[in-house]
Structure formats: structure tokens, C-alpha cells
Amino acid sequence: MPEKVYIKNRPATFEYAIEDRLTAGIVLTGSEIKSVRNGKVSFNDSYCFFDRGELWIKSLHIAEYVNAGYAGHDPIRERKLLLNKRELAKWANKVKEKGLTIVPLAVFINEHGFAKVEIGLGKGKKLHDKRESIKERDVQKEIKRHLNRY
């Protein structure tokens, strides 16, 4: 593998307070994995949902691979996430009880060459929470700026 692929969903941490994180496998076709390796992934309004005891990701845009020919894929199809039953049951109960949602945080290729999705159990932030996040980010920038001077 010549270079690392790690595509992050930056708005997710701004819009949601992430309580728990998990890494899941994702079912992809041949042209999709080639597009992921090229970094052609977009998280616009993507989210995860349960259907018949399985976890699926919706609206994750993986661009069509240029050299796929007739064996191309639908860029925004629903894709199955691979987790074991215990993890699925645990997260399904949390989503039902507390009003939490499952948000994709990142897509990456692991050391074995498999595509993985980092998902987070998040609760939507209110406006004042977002303002606090902005303030905290600005404070961290100022601290870093002062430390770099000396």
C-alpha cells in the first residue's frame, strides 16, 4: 500500500456530541473499493440505520470508478456495515432508548487492505453547544500559537 487513506467526516463532530465510537467493516463492490483507495468518498448527510437487525449506511457517496466499464456501481446506494451480533444489539438498544443516532465519522483502509468505517453514537448538539465548540477550538489555536512562538 503506497499511502494511507483516511477520509474524515469533519461536520459530524461539530453537529453531534459523540459518546461512543466503533470500527465496522463495510460491504463494497470491486469498483467501490478502488474509488475508496483513490479517496473519492463524500459524507454529505450520511447516516446509519437498522433494518431487520442489520446496520446499514445511507447517503455515503462513493464516486464511480473511471475504469470500471460495465461493472460500475450506484454512487449513493445503501451499504451494509459488518459488526457482530452483540455490538449490533447493544447499539440498537441505545438508539431506541436515548434518542441517539449513529453517524459515520471516517472511512479508511486498514493495514490488511480492507475498507473500514468508523462510526459514532452521537447526540445532536444545540446552538449553544456549537458555540462552546467554536470557543474551545479558538482557545486551542491561541495556545498552540503562543507555544510555537517560544
pLDDT tens for 13-42 read 888 889 999 999 999 988 899 899 998 999
pLDDT at 89: 92
pLDDT at 61 over 60: yes
Would you say residue 1 has pLDDT above 50?
Answer: no
Per the model's pLDDT, the better-predicted residue between 66 and 46 turns out to be: 46
Average pLDDT over residues 42-64: 92
Q: What percent of the chain is predicted at pLDDT more than 70? A: 98
Residue 49 pLDDT > 90: yes
Q: What is the CATH number of domain 6-125?
A: 2.40.280.10
List the grid coordinates of 10.
Answer: 469533519
